[in-house]
């Protein structure tokens, strides 16, 4: 795939107090499948706070920074729906960050 390397991070706040370990693993697996041909690195992890957050970080090839953000954002939304986890996260309040790869 052509394009430049882009780093993308999506932070999702869980609407429950905690994220179940099996749910986190299911989301990570679905994202790996959805993004496998485009990503050079993918990490999915929980970040505690008042409410738990899940951070999705990816490095992928994209036509632009905005394209990279769109690819990861679309994959996150699709995988949350696919795994039945969409209702457990406030996807409208997610924090999105993207920029050229800082490898």
pLDDT tens-digit profile of 56-99? 999 999 999 999 999 999 999 999 999 999 888 877 777 899 99
Q: Which two tokens stand for residue 68?
A: 């990279």
Alpha-carbon Rg for the chain in angstroms: 13
Mean pLDDT of 6-13: 94
Q: What are the Cα distances from residue 88, in Å, to 27, 34, 52, 59?
A: 12, 20, 11, 25
CATH number belonging to domain 4-97: 3.30.70.100
Give me the residue spans of the domains in the chain. Answer: 4-97
Question: Can you give the pTM of this predicted structure?
Answer: 0.90
Q: How far apart are the first and last CA of the chain?
A: 18
DSSP structure class, residue 48: -
């Amino acid at each position: 795939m052509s394009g430049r390397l882009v780093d993308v991070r999506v932070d999702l706040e869980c609407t429950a107090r905690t994220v179940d370990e099996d749910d986190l693993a299911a989301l990570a697996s679905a994202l790996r499948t959805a993004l496998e041909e485009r990503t050079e690195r993918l990490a999915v992890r929980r970040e505690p706070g008042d409410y738990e957050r899940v951070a999705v970080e990816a490095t992928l090839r994209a036509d632009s920074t905005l394209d990279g953000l769109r690819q990861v954002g679309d994959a996150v939304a699709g995988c949350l729906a696919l795994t039945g986890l969409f209702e457990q996260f406030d996807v409208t309040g997610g924090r999105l960050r993207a920029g050229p790869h800082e490898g």
